[in-house]
Protein backbone atom coordinates (compact mmCIF):
# COMPACT_ATOMS: atom_id res chain seq x y z
CA UNK A 1 0.00 0.00 0.00
CA UNK A 2 2.86 2.35 0.77
CA UNK A 3 4.04 1.65 -2.75
CA UNK A 4 0.80 2.93 -4.22
CA UNK A 5 1.16 6.33 -2.59
CA UNK A 6 4.87 6.43 -3.32
CA UNK A 7 4.04 6.01 -7.02
CA UNK A 8 1.38 8.67 -6.90
CA UNK A 9 3.54 11.33 -5.29
CA UNK A 10 7.02 10.11 -6.15
CA UNK A 11 8.06 10.26 -2.49
CA UNK A 12 8.64 7.30 -0.18
CA UNK A 13 6.56 8.03 2.90
CA UNK A 14 7.18 4.70 4.66
CA UNK A 15 9.25 6.35 7.42
CA UNK A 16 6.55 8.87 8.34
CA UNK A 17 4.85 7.93 11.63
CA UNK A 18 1.14 7.19 11.13
CA UNK A 19 1.53 7.64 7.37
CA UNK A 20 -1.56 7.22 5.21
CA UNK A 21 -0.93 3.88 3.56
CA UNK A 22 -4.48 3.37 2.29
CA UNK A 23 -6.32 6.30 0.77
CA UNK A 24 -9.55 5.21 2.43
CA UNK A 25 -8.12 5.25 5.97
CA UNK A 26 -6.60 8.04 8.05
CA UNK A 27 -4.91 6.98 11.32
CA UNK A 28 -6.36 8.87 14.26
CA UNK A 29 -2.94 9.78 15.69
CA UNK A 30 -2.46 12.30 12.87
CA UNK A 31 -4.91 14.54 14.71
CA UNK A 32 -3.48 14.47 18.25
CA UNK A 33 -0.12 12.69 18.51
CA UNK A 34 2.48 15.15 19.75
CA UNK A 35 5.33 13.58 17.76
CA UNK A 36 3.26 13.83 14.55
CA UNK A 37 2.37 17.43 15.37
CA UNK A 38 6.04 18.23 16.06
CA UNK A 39 6.92 16.72 12.69
CA UNK A 40 4.42 19.01 10.98
CA UNK A 41 5.99 21.92 12.83
CA UNK A 42 9.44 20.85 11.75
CA UNK A 43 8.79 19.81 8.16
CA UNK A 44 5.55 21.34 6.93
CA UNK A 45 5.06 24.87 8.24
CA UNK A 46 8.66 26.11 7.76
CA UNK A 47 8.63 24.88 4.13
CA UNK A 48 5.14 25.31 2.72
CA UNK A 49 3.55 28.31 1.02
CA UNK A 50 0.79 29.62 3.25
CA UNK A 51 -1.70 32.47 3.17
CA UNK A 52 -0.30 35.03 5.61
CA UNK A 53 -2.81 37.88 5.25
CA UNK A 54 -5.25 39.58 2.92
CA UNK A 55 -3.51 42.02 0.60
CA UNK A 56 -5.77 44.90 1.64
CA UNK A 57 -4.60 44.60 5.26
CA UNK A 58 -1.34 46.37 4.36
CA UNK A 59 -2.21 49.05 1.78
CA UNK A 60 0.36 51.69 2.82
CA UNK A 61 4.14 51.60 3.00
CA UNK A 62 5.10 50.61 6.55
CA UNK A 63 1.84 48.73 7.25
CA UNK A 64 2.47 45.34 8.79
CA UNK A 65 0.66 42.31 10.10
CA UNK A 66 2.01 39.51 12.25
CA UNK A 67 1.24 36.03 10.95
CA UNK A 68 1.27 33.15 13.43
CA UNK A 69 1.36 29.44 12.74
CA UNK A 70 2.10 26.97 15.59
CA UNK A 71 5.18 28.55 17.29
CA UNK A 72 6.23 30.57 14.24
CA UNK A 73 5.67 34.28 13.97
CA UNK A 74 6.31 36.17 10.73
CA UNK A 75 6.13 39.93 10.11
CA UNK A 76 4.55 40.79 6.75
CA UNK A 77 5.28 44.40 5.80
CA UNK A 78 4.65 46.63 2.80
CA UNK A 79 8.04 48.10 1.91
CA UNK A 80 6.99 50.11 -1.16
CA UNK A 81 3.79 50.65 -3.16
CA UNK A 82 4.74 47.61 -5.23
CA UNK A 83 6.67 45.43 -2.78
CA UNK A 84 5.93 43.36 0.31
CA UNK A 85 8.50 41.58 2.44
CA UNK A 86 8.25 39.08 5.27
CA UNK A 87 10.66 38.41 8.12
CA UNK A 88 10.97 35.92 10.92
CA UNK A 89 9.81 37.88 13.94
CA UNK A 90 13.03 37.95 15.96
CA UNK A 91 15.52 40.66 16.89
CA UNK A 92 19.04 39.81 15.76
CA UNK A 93 20.35 40.79 19.21
CA UNK A 94 18.56 38.61 21.75
CA UNK A 95 15.57 37.35 19.80
CA UNK A 96 12.82 39.68 21.01
CA UNK A 97 9.65 39.47 18.89
CA UNK A 98 9.82 42.72 16.93
CA UNK A 99 6.18 43.31 16.01
CA UNK A 100 2.90 42.24 17.58
CA UNK A 101 -0.52 42.14 15.92
CA UNK A 102 -1.17 44.72 13.22
CA UNK A 103 -0.06 48.27 12.67
CA UNK A 104 2.31 50.54 10.83
CA UNK A 105 6.05 51.00 11.40
CA UNK A 106 6.52 54.73 12.00
CA UNK A 107 9.24 56.50 10.09
CA UNK A 108 9.97 53.34 8.13
CA UNK A 109 11.80 51.81 11.10
CA UNK A 110 11.28 48.44 12.74
CA UNK A 111 12.43 49.01 16.32
CA UNK A 112 13.17 46.37 18.93
CA UNK A 113 11.49 47.30 22.21
CA UNK A 114 14.26 45.72 24.35
CA UNK A 115 17.47 47.63 23.57
CA UNK A 116 16.29 49.75 20.67
CA UNK A 117 18.06 48.19 17.69
CA UNK A 118 16.44 49.28 14.44
CA UNK A 119 15.94 47.99 10.93
CA UNK A 120 14.82 49.63 7.71
CA UNK A 121 11.69 48.18 6.11
CA UNK A 122 13.91 46.33 3.62
CA UNK A 123 15.40 44.33 6.51
CA UNK A 124 18.81 46.02 6.57
CA UNK A 125 20.04 47.17 9.98
CA UNK A 126 19.57 50.89 10.53
CA UNK A 127 23.10 51.95 11.51
CA UNK A 128 24.55 52.84 13.87
CA UNK A 129 22.97 50.25 16.16
CA UNK A 130 22.56 51.52 19.70
CA UNK A 131 25.42 50.34 21.91
CA UNK A 132 27.33 48.81 18.99
CA UNK A 133 30.64 49.89 20.57
CA UNK A 134 30.08 47.27 23.28
CA UNK A 135 30.16 44.32 20.84
CA UNK A 136 33.12 42.49 19.39
CA UNK A 137 33.29 43.23 15.63
CA UNK A 138 32.46 39.62 14.67
CA UNK A 139 29.00 40.10 16.22
CA UNK A 140 28.31 43.08 13.97
CA UNK A 141 28.58 41.63 10.47
CA UNK A 142 26.04 43.73 8.56
CA UNK A 143 24.76 40.86 6.46
CA UNK A 144 24.27 38.72 9.52
CA UNK A 145 22.33 41.53 11.22
CA UNK A 146 19.70 41.68 8.48
CA UNK A 147 16.25 40.45 9.46
CA UNK A 148 15.75 36.84 8.43
CA UNK A 149 13.73 37.02 5.26
CA UNK A 150 10.96 34.71 4.03
CA UNK A 151 9.82 34.27 0.44
CA UNK A 152 6.76 36.39 -0.34
CA UNK A 153 4.37 36.47 -3.27
CA UNK A 154 0.81 37.63 -3.86
CA UNK A 155 -2.08 35.82 -5.47
CA UNK A 156 -5.87 35.71 -5.19
CA UNK A 157 -6.04 38.89 -3.10
CA UNK A 158 -3.71 37.42 -0.47
CA UNK A 159 -0.08 37.63 0.64
CA UNK A 160 1.59 34.20 0.72
CA UNK A 161 4.80 33.46 2.58
CA UNK A 162 7.25 30.61 2.70
CA UNK A 163 9.91 30.49 5.41
CA UNK A 164 12.03 28.26 3.16
CA UNK A 165 14.13 30.51 0.91
CA UNK A 166 14.83 27.53 -1.38
CA UNK A 167 11.24 26.38 -1.86
CA UNK A 168 9.91 26.41 -5.45
CA UNK A 169 7.97 29.61 -6.26
CA UNK A 170 4.33 30.19 -5.32
CA UNK A 171 3.09 29.79 -8.91
CA UNK A 172 4.58 26.32 -8.92
CA UNK A 173 3.03 25.35 -5.58
CA UNK A 174 -0.43 26.67 -6.50
CA UNK A 175 -0.70 24.74 -9.77
CA UNK A 176 -3.28 24.15 -11.22
CA UNK A 177 -5.61 26.39 -9.19
CA UNK A 178 -4.91 29.84 -10.71
CA UNK A 179 -6.23 28.76 -14.11
CA UNK A 180 -9.57 27.91 -12.46
CA UNK A 181 -9.81 30.68 -9.88
CA UNK A 182 -8.33 33.72 -11.65
CA UNK A 183 -11.13 33.97 -14.24
CA UNK A 184 -13.62 34.15 -11.32
CA UNK A 185 -11.92 37.45 -10.35
CA UNK A 186 -11.21 36.04 -6.93
CA UNK A 187 -8.19 38.36 -6.66
CA UNK A 188 -10.36 41.46 -7.04
CA UNK A 189 -12.70 40.58 -4.18
CA UNK A 190 -12.43 42.46 -0.90
CA UNK A 191 -13.41 41.66 2.67
CA UNK A 192 -17.08 42.00 3.56
CA UNK A 193 -16.60 40.52 7.06
CA UNK A 194 -13.85 38.63 8.86
CA UNK A 195 -14.12 36.64 12.09
CA UNK A 196 -12.07 34.07 13.96
CA UNK A 197 -12.56 31.30 16.46
CA UNK A 198 -10.32 29.15 18.65
CA UNK A 199 -11.39 25.52 18.55
CA UNK A 200 -10.44 22.52 20.67
CA UNK A 201 -9.58 20.38 17.68
CA UNK A 202 -6.65 19.73 15.39
CA UNK A 203 -6.25 22.22 12.54
CA UNK A 204 -6.90 19.47 9.96
CA UNK A 205 -10.25 18.57 11.54
CA UNK A 206 -11.31 22.20 11.13
CA UNK A 207 -10.40 22.58 7.46
CA UNK A 208 -11.67 19.10 6.53
CA UNK A 209 -15.15 20.13 7.67
CA UNK A 210 -15.29 22.19 4.46
CA UNK A 211 -13.83 19.59 2.11
CA UNK A 212 -16.96 17.57 1.43
CA UNK A 213 -20.60 18.37 0.89
CA UNK A 214 -22.42 15.25 1.99
CA UNK A 215 -22.58 16.42 5.61
CA UNK A 216 -25.22 18.93 4.48
CA UNK A 217 -28.16 16.54 4.94
CA UNK A 218 -27.31 15.90 8.58
CA UNK A 219 -25.41 19.00 9.73
CA UNK A 220 -27.34 21.66 7.80
CA UNK A 221 -30.76 20.00 7.29
CA UNK A 222 -32.39 23.36 6.64
CA UNK A 223 -30.40 23.57 3.38
CA UNK A 224 -32.13 20.47 2.05
CA UNK A 225 -35.29 22.58 1.80
CA UNK A 226 -37.51 19.89 3.24
CA UNK A 227 -36.14 17.09 1.06
CA UNK A 228 -35.03 15.22 4.19
CA UNK A 229 -33.30 11.95 3.43
CA UNK A 230 -34.26 12.26 -0.22
CA UNK A 231 -31.63 14.97 -0.39
CA UNK A 232 -28.94 13.61 -2.70
CA UNK A 233 -25.82 12.53 -0.83
CA UNK A 234 -23.93 13.34 -3.97
CA UNK A 235 -24.87 17.00 -3.86
CA UNK A 236 -21.42 18.58 -4.30
CA UNK A 237 -20.27 15.18 -5.45
CA UNK A 238 -17.66 15.76 -8.12
CA UNK A 239 -14.31 15.57 -6.38
CA UNK A 240 -11.15 16.57 -8.15
CA UNK A 241 -7.82 15.84 -6.50
CA UNK A 242 -4.91 17.76 -7.99
CA UNK A 243 -1.14 17.86 -7.84
CA UNK A 244 0.38 19.77 -4.91
CA UNK A 245 -2.30 18.43 -2.56
CA UNK A 246 -5.06 20.75 -3.79
CA UNK A 247 -8.65 19.65 -4.39
CA UNK A 248 -11.99 20.93 -5.55
CA UNK A 249 -15.55 19.95 -5.04
CA UNK A 250 -18.07 20.62 -7.72
CA UNK A 251 -21.81 20.86 -7.33
CA UNK A 252 -22.99 18.26 -9.75
CA UNK A 253 -26.16 16.49 -8.89
CA UNK A 254 -28.70 19.03 -7.82
CA UNK A 255 -29.32 20.57 -11.24
CA UNK A 256 -30.11 17.22 -12.80
CA UNK A 257 -32.51 16.41 -9.99
CA UNK A 258 -34.26 19.74 -10.53
CA UNK A 259 -34.56 19.09 -14.26
CA UNK A 260 -35.93 15.62 -13.62
CA UNK A 261 -38.62 17.07 -11.36
CA UNK A 262 -40.15 18.98 -14.28
CA UNK A 263 -40.71 22.16 -12.25
CA UNK A 264 -42.41 25.16 -13.84
CA UNK A 265 -40.38 28.36 -14.20
CA UNK A 266 -42.30 29.84 -11.25
CA UNK A 267 -41.50 26.83 -9.13
CA UNK A 268 -37.84 27.15 -10.21
CA UNK A 269 -37.80 30.77 -9.07
CA UNK A 270 -39.34 29.93 -5.70
CA UNK A 271 -37.00 27.02 -5.12
CA UNK A 272 -33.92 29.04 -6.05
CA UNK A 273 -35.12 31.99 -4.03
CA UNK A 274 -35.71 29.82 -0.97
CA UNK A 275 -32.21 28.44 -1.18
CA UNK A 276 -30.60 31.83 -1.78
CA UNK A 277 -32.50 33.45 1.10
CA UNK A 278 -31.43 30.71 3.48
CA UNK A 279 -27.81 30.93 2.43
CA UNK A 280 -27.88 34.73 2.62
CA UNK A 281 -29.40 34.73 6.13
CA UNK A 282 -27.48 31.82 7.58
CA UNK A 283 -24.04 32.20 6.02
CA UNK A 284 -23.97 35.92 5.20
CA UNK A 285 -21.49 35.08 2.50
CA UNK A 286 -21.50 33.65 -1.05
CA UNK A 287 -25.08 34.89 -1.44
CA UNK A 288 -25.60 38.52 -0.40
CA UNK A 289 -28.84 40.54 -0.17
CA UNK A 290 -28.25 42.08 -3.62
CA UNK A 291 -28.31 38.60 -5.18
CA UNK A 292 -31.57 37.73 -3.42
CA UNK A 293 -33.11 40.99 -4.62
CA UNK A 294 -32.19 40.25 -8.22
CA UNK A 295 -33.89 36.85 -8.08
CA UNK A 296 -36.90 38.34 -6.28
CA UNK A 297 -37.35 40.65 -9.26
CA UNK A 298 -37.83 37.54 -11.42
CA UNK A 299 -40.80 36.16 -9.49
CA UNK A 300 -43.26 36.86 -12.28
CA UNK A 301 -40.94 35.67 -15.01
CA UNK A 302 -42.56 34.11 -18.04
CA UNK A 303 -40.20 31.57 -19.59
CA UNK A 304 -39.63 27.87 -20.06
CA UNK A 305 -38.29 26.27 -16.86
CA UNK A 306 -35.00 25.31 -18.50
CA UNK A 307 -34.45 28.95 -19.45
CA UNK A 308 -34.72 30.14 -15.88
CA UNK A 309 -31.12 29.81 -14.79
CA UNK A 310 -29.89 31.64 -17.91
CA UNK A 311 -32.38 34.46 -17.23
CA UNK A 312 -31.25 34.65 -13.62
CA UNK A 313 -27.61 35.02 -14.69
CA UNK A 314 -28.58 37.71 -17.22
CA UNK A 315 -30.45 39.63 -14.52
CA UNK A 316 -27.49 39.34 -12.17
CA UNK A 317 -25.09 40.69 -14.77
CA UNK A 318 -27.45 43.55 -15.59
CA UNK A 319 -27.79 44.51 -11.92
CA UNK A 320 -24.05 44.34 -11.21
CA UNK A 321 -23.09 46.22 -14.36
CA UNK A 322 -25.54 48.97 -13.37
CA UNK A 323 -23.93 49.12 -9.93
CA UNK A 324 -20.43 49.39 -11.41
CA UNK A 325 -19.45 45.86 -10.37
CA UNK A 326 -17.51 43.87 -12.93
CA UNK A 327 -18.43 40.19 -12.66
CA UNK A 328 -16.27 37.52 -14.36
CA UNK A 329 -16.48 37.17 -18.13
CA UNK A 330 -19.79 35.37 -18.67
CA UNK A 331 -18.24 32.39 -20.44
CA UNK A 332 -20.18 29.17 -19.72
CA UNK A 333 -17.08 27.30 -18.50
CA UNK A 334 -16.27 30.14 -16.08
CA UNK A 335 -19.83 30.42 -14.75
CA UNK A 336 -19.92 26.65 -14.32
CA UNK A 337 -17.27 27.06 -11.61
CA UNK A 338 -19.56 29.20 -9.44
CA UNK A 339 -20.53 27.11 -6.43
CA UNK A 340 -17.46 24.83 -6.59
CA UNK A 341 -15.16 24.95 -3.61
CA UNK A 342 -11.39 24.94 -3.75
CA UNK A 343 -9.04 23.55 -1.14
CA UNK A 344 -5.59 25.09 -1.27
CA UNK A 345 -2.97 22.88 0.37
CA UNK A 346 -2.41 22.82 3.30
CA UNK A 347 -4.97 24.94 5.15
CA UNK A 348 -6.94 27.39 3.03
CA UNK A 349 -10.16 27.46 1.01
CA UNK A 350 -12.20 29.56 -1.36
CA UNK A 351 -15.87 28.84 -2.11
CA UNK A 352 -16.97 31.38 -4.74
CA UNK A 353 -20.50 32.01 -5.94
CA UNK A 354 -21.72 34.87 -8.13
CA UNK A 355 -19.29 37.75 -7.45
CA UNK A 356 -18.74 36.65 -3.86
CA UNK A 357 -16.81 34.02 -1.97
CA UNK A 358 -16.37 32.61 1.47
CA UNK A 359 -12.81 31.80 2.49
CA UNK A 360 -11.43 29.72 5.38
CA UNK A 361 -8.05 29.25 7.03
CA UNK A 362 -7.11 26.80 9.82
CA UNK A 363 -3.79 26.94 11.69
CA UNK A 364 -2.28 25.19 14.69
CA UNK A 365 -2.36 27.55 17.63
CA UNK A 366 0.80 27.32 19.72
CA UNK A 367 2.05 23.95 20.93
CA UNK A 368 -1.15 21.99 21.34
CA UNK A 369 -2.10 19.59 18.52
CA UNK A 370 -5.70 19.64 19.75
CA UNK A 371 -6.17 23.37 19.49
CA UNK A 372 -6.48 25.54 16.40
CA UNK A 373 -7.22 29.02 15.20
CA UNK A 374 -9.83 29.18 12.46
CA UNK A 375 -10.82 32.22 10.41
CA UNK A 376 -13.63 33.00 8.03
CA UNK A 377 -13.72 35.80 5.49
CA UNK A 378 -16.78 36.80 3.49
CA UNK A 379 -15.50 38.37 0.26
CA UNK A 380 -17.22 40.20 -2.54
CA UNK A 381 -16.57 42.31 -5.63
CA UNK A 382 -17.16 46.00 -4.96
CA UNK A 383 -18.00 48.68 -7.56
CA UNK A 384 -14.79 49.55 -9.40
CA UNK A 385 -13.03 52.48 -7.74
CA UNK A 386 -15.08 52.03 -4.56
CA UNK A 387 -13.20 49.11 -3.05
CA UNK A 388 -12.93 49.53 0.73
CA UNK A 389 -9.57 50.14 2.38
CA UNK A 390 -8.14 48.14 5.28
CA UNK A 391 -10.62 45.49 6.40
CA UNK A 392 -11.96 45.53 9.94
CA UNK A 393 -11.36 42.38 11.93
CA UNK A 394 -14.73 41.75 13.57
CA UNK A 395 -13.19 39.71 16.36
CA UNK A 396 -12.88 36.28 17.87
CA UNK A 397 -16.15 34.60 18.85
CA UNK A 398 -17.03 31.38 20.66
CA UNK A 399 -18.52 28.52 18.64
CA UNK A 400 -22.08 29.13 19.75
CA UNK A 401 -21.91 32.94 19.70
CA UNK A 402 -24.64 34.33 17.47
CA UNK A 403 -22.07 36.66 15.96
CA UNK A 404 -21.44 33.59 13.81
CA UNK A 405 -24.10 32.91 11.21
CA UNK A 406 -26.02 29.67 11.73
CA UNK A 407 -24.28 27.55 9.08
CA UNK A 408 -20.71 27.93 10.44
CA UNK A 409 -22.06 27.38 13.97
CA UNK A 410 -23.44 24.07 12.74
CA UNK A 411 -20.06 23.17 11.23
CA UNK A 412 -18.19 24.12 14.41
CA UNK A 413 -20.50 21.93 16.47
CA UNK A 414 -19.02 18.74 14.97
CA UNK A 415 -15.32 19.54 15.20
CA UNK A 416 -14.70 19.27 18.93
CA UNK A 417 -16.89 16.16 19.05
CA UNK A 418 -14.70 14.53 16.40
CA UNK A 419 -11.62 15.38 18.44
CA UNK A 420 -13.20 13.67 21.47
CA UNK A 421 -14.22 10.61 19.46
CA UNK A 422 -10.67 10.18 18.14
CA UNK A 423 -9.44 9.37 21.66
CA UNK A 424 -11.82 6.51 22.31
CA UNK A 425 -9.70 3.39 22.67
CA UNK A 426 -11.56 1.28 20.12
CA UNK A 427 -11.45 3.94 17.41
CA UNK A 428 -8.37 3.59 15.21
CA UNK A 429 -8.87 5.15 11.79
CA UNK A 430 -11.11 7.61 10.03
CA UNK A 431 -12.66 5.97 6.96
CA UNK A 432 -13.15 8.06 3.83
CA UNK A 433 -15.74 7.71 1.07
CA UNK A 434 -13.84 7.64 -2.20
CA UNK A 435 -16.72 9.33 -3.99
CA UNK A 436 -17.22 12.17 -1.50
CA UNK A 437 -14.00 12.57 0.49
CA UNK A 438 -11.12 11.87 -1.87
CA UNK A 439 -9.86 15.45 -1.51
CA UNK A 440 -9.20 14.71 2.17
CA UNK A 441 -7.24 11.57 1.25
CA UNK A 442 -5.25 13.53 -1.32
CA UNK A 443 -4.50 16.19 1.30
CA UNK A 444 -3.12 13.62 3.76
CA UNK A 445 -1.10 11.79 1.11
CA UNK A 446 0.55 15.02 0.02
CA UNK A 447 1.12 16.11 3.63
CA UNK A 448 3.11 12.91 4.11
CA UNK A 449 5.44 13.85 1.26
CA UNK A 450 6.41 16.98 3.26
CA UNK A 451 6.86 14.98 6.43
CA UNK A 452 9.04 12.43 4.60
CA UNK A 453 11.47 14.94 3.07
Query: Given the rule CB under 5 A, which residues bind Fe ion?
Result: 411
Return the closest-CA partner of residue 105 out of 65, 64, 159, 75: 64
- State in angstroms the smallest separation of the CB of 131 from ligand FES: 8
- State in angstroms the smallest separation of the CB of 122 from ligand FES: 18
Binding partner of residue 411 among ligand FES, Fe ion, none, CB cut-off 5 to 8 Å per kind: Fe ion
Binding partner of residue 172 among ligand FES, Fe ion, none, CB cut-off 5 to 8 Å per kind: none
User: Judged by CB, which is closer to Fe ion: 18, or 404?
Assistant: 404
- Residues 354 and 290: their CA atoms lie apart, in Å, by 11
- Residues 8 and 23: their CA atoms lie apart, in Å, by 11
- State in angstroms the smallest separation of the CB of 132 from ligand FES: 11
Binding partner of residue 135 among Fe ion, ligand FES, none, CB cut-off 5 to 8 Å per kind: none
- Residues 285 and 259: their CA atoms lie apart, in Å, by 27
Binding partner of residue 434 among ligand FES, Fe ion, none, CB cut-off 5 to 8 Å per kind: none
Binding partner of residue 317 among Fe ion, ligand FES, none, CB cut-off 5 to 8 Å per kind: none
| Chain center to CA of 211 | 11
User: Judged by CB, which is closer to ligand FES: 91, or 216?
Assistant: 91
- Residues 197 and 28: their CA atoms lie apart, in Å, by 23
- End-to-end, the C-alpha distance of the chain in Å comes to 19
- State in angstroms the smallest separation of the CB of 130 from ligand FES: 7
Give me the residues paired with residue 395 across strands. Answer: 195
Q: Which residues contact 96 (CB under 8 A, 6 or more apart)?
A: 90, 112, 113, 114
Binding partner of residue 112 among Fe ion, ligand FES, none, CB cut-off 5 to 8 Å per kind: ligand FES
Return the closest-CA partner of residue 210 out of 14, 375, 396, 12: 375
Binding partner of residue 431 among ligand FES, Fe ion, none, CB cut-off 5 to 8 Å per kind: none
- State in angstroms the smallest separation of the CB of 30 from ligand FES: 37
User: Judged by CB, which is closer to ligand FES: 6, or 129?
Assistant: 129
Binding partner of residue 96 among Fe ion, ligand FES, none, CB cut-off 5 to 8 Å per kind: ligand FES
Would strands 63-69 and 247-250 be described as parallel, antiparallel, or unpaired? unpaired
User: Judged by CB, which is closer to ligand FES: 93, or 290?
Assistant: 93
Q: In terms of C-beta density within 10 A (0-12 exposed, 13-18 middle, 19 or more buried), how is residue 256 classed?
A: exposed
- State in angstroms the smallest separation of the CB of 115 from ligand FES: 3
Q: DSSP labels for 233-253?
A: TTTT-EEEE-GGG-EEEE--H
User: Judged by CB, which is closer to ligand FES: 91, or 209?
Assistant: 91
User: Judged by CB, which is closer to ligand FES: 134, or 322?
Assistant: 134
Binding partner of residue 114 among ligand FES, Fe ion, none, CB cut-off 5 to 8 Å per kind: ligand FES
Instruction: Check if the beta carbon of residue 350 is closer than 8 Å to that of residue 370.
Output: no
User: Judged by CB, which is closer to Fe ion: 251, or 411?
Assistant: 411
Q: DSSP labels for 127-158?
A: SSPTTGGGS-GGG--HHHHS--EEEEEEETTE
- State in angstroms the smallest separation of the CB of 113 from ligand FES: 7
Binding partner of residue 71 among Fe ion, ligand FES, none, CB cut-off 5 to 8 Å per kind: none
User: Judged by CB, which is closer to Fe ion: 369, or 408?
Assistant: 408
Binding site for ligand FES (CB under 6 A): 91, 93-94, 96, 112, 114-115, 117
Return the closest-CA partner of residue 224 out of 279, 182, 169, 179: 279
**Dihedral sign, CA of 258, 261, 265, 269?**
negative
Instruction: Check if the beta carbon of residue 234 is closer than 8 Å to that of residue 214.
Output: yes
User: Judged by CB, which is closer to Fe ion: 190, or 220?
Assistant: 220
- State in angstroms the smallest separation of the CB of 339 from Fe ion: 14
- State in angstroms the smallest separation of the CB of 114 from ligand FES: 4
Instruction: Check if the beta carbon of residue 360 is closer than 8 Å to that of residue 283.
Output: no
- Residues 249 and 236: their CA atoms lie apart, in Å, by 6
User: Judged by CB, which is closer to ligand FES: 14, or 126?
Assistant: 126
- State in angstroms the smallest separation of the CB of 195 from Fe ion: 16
Amino acid sequence: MVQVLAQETGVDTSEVPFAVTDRAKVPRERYYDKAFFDLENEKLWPRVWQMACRLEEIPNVGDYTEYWVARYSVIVVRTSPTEIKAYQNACRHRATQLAVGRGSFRGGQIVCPFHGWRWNLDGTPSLPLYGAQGFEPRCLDEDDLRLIECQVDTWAGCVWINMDRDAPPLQHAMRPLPEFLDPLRIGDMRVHWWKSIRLNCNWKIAIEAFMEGWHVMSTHPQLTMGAGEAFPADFLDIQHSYENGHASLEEGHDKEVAEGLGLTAQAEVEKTLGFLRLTCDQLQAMVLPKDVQVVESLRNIDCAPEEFSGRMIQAMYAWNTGAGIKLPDPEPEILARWGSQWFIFPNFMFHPLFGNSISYRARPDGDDPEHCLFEVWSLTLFPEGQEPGKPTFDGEFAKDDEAWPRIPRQDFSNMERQQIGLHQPGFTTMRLAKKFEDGIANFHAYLDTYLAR
